[in-house]
């Protein structure tokens, strides 16, 4: 009686495999990975500043409080970026979640003038604020790192000098159905001095271009994945307002889903962020002070703290 069951199991397995259809193998043609990096950086370096509207949903799952998801009904939210002096960062950046132009619910950002990263939120009676110094080596983590969020938008340069850190290691993902060029950012940990992975950027491995990031994995000091971002629907940024606009408009993903993972027994406070961007422009329509850490009345900031490597963005704050 065992044999018939075994044959039946094999037949069912074969049928299930067959019903899934054929998975397209990875292409045979390879582009030098240095070219993939150069193409990416040419696009990123063309973005000096950015103003964009956003439709957004955010899921919070704070300890000792019920999980909640907020969704903006229209593109009332804003994303602002202005590059700093170092192309690898830190940069002035803020993601503003708001119900209306006058009602802000949270800000996630970085201020070069103040030298800090921050995150605050206020949903009804619930509200908290965190901040941390750029380039700090250790200490408590922010619930979500603004530099990590900025790093997945594909508009900030990756390190391209092979003779110094931070640097990029190159490789391939030869998995049918998920074929990718993989660029891994590595740097030396300030606390231990050891080399560590900071994030992986996966580019589509296609027979023809464009080769654009479609997934990003962000790691903590212990090498654990703390964030996964899925990127799609690339669209151009209007750069006509720049003094010296590039020949080709740079692009960025306009549909971005960021998922934060529990690690080391610590629950992710920000569980998920989904952004849909529109009206992306390089027009100079805002000041750097818009990125300052100014929590609203009633949301008391926590004591100044240093996150466990708040520079998990583009490497500049390690210097």
Radius of gyration of the chain (CA): 21
Per-residue pLDDT of the chain (319 residues; tens, 9 = 90+): 334 444 444 444 344 444 455 788 888 888 898 999 999 999 999 999 999 999 999 998 877 777 889 999 789 999 999 999 999 989 999 999 998 877 889 999 999 999 999 999 888 777 889 888 887 655 446 888 898 899 999 999 999 998 899 999 999 999 998 999 999 999 988 777 889 999 999 999 887 777 999 999 999 888 889 999 999 999 999 998 888 888 889 999 999 999 999 887 777 878 899 999 999 999 998 999 999 999 988 887 765 444 434 444 444 332 2
pTM as predicted: 0.84
What's the CATH number for 26-318?
Answer: 2.50.20
Phi, psi of 33 (to 5 degrees): -65, -25
- Provide the residue ranges of all domains of the chain, joining segments of one domain with +: 26-318
Task: Give the E-state strand segments of 61-194 in sequence order.
Answer: 68-71, 77-82, 92-100, 103-111, 116-123, 126-133, 167-173, 180-188
């Amino acid at each position: 009686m065992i044999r018939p069951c075994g044959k039946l199991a094999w037949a069912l397995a074969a049928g299930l495999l067959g019903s899934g259809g054929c998975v397209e193998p990875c292409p045979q043609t390879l582009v030098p990975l240095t070219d993939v990096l150069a193409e990416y950086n040419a696009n990123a370096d063309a973005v000096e500043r950015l103003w964009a509207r956003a439709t957004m949903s955010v899921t919070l799952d704070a300890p000792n409080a019920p999980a909640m998801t907020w969704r903006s009904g229209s593109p009332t939210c804003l994303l602002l970026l202005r590059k700093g002096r170092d192309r690898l960062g830190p940069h002035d950046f803020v993601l503003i979640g708001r119900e209306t132009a006058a009602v802000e619910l949270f800000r996630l950002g970085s201020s070069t003038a103040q030298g800090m990263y921050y995150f605050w939120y206020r949903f009804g009676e619930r509200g908290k604020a965190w901040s941390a110094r750029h380039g700090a080596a250790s200490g408590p983590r922010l619930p979500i790192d603004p530099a990590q969020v900025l790093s997945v938008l594909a508009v900030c340069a990756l390190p391209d000098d092979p003779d110094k850190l931070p640097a990029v290691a190159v490789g391939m993902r030869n998995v049918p159905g998920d074929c990718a060029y993989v660029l891994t950012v590595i740097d030396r940990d300030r606390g231990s001095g050891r080399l560590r992975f900071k994030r992986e950027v996966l580019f589509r491995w296609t027979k023809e271009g464009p080769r654009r990031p479609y997934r990003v994995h962000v790691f903590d000091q212990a090498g654990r994945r703390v964030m996964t971002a899925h990127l799609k629907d690339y669209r151009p940024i209007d750069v006509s307002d720049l003094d010296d606009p590039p020949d080709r408009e740079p692009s960025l993903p306009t549909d971005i889903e960021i998922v934060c993972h529990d690690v080391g027994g610590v629950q992710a406070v920000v569980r998920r962020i989904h952004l849909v961007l529109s009206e992306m422009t390089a027009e100079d329509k805002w000041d750097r002070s818009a990125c300052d850490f100014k929590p609203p009345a009633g949301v008391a900031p926590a004591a100044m703290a240093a996150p466990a490597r708040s520079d998990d963005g583009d490497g500049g704050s390690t210097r």
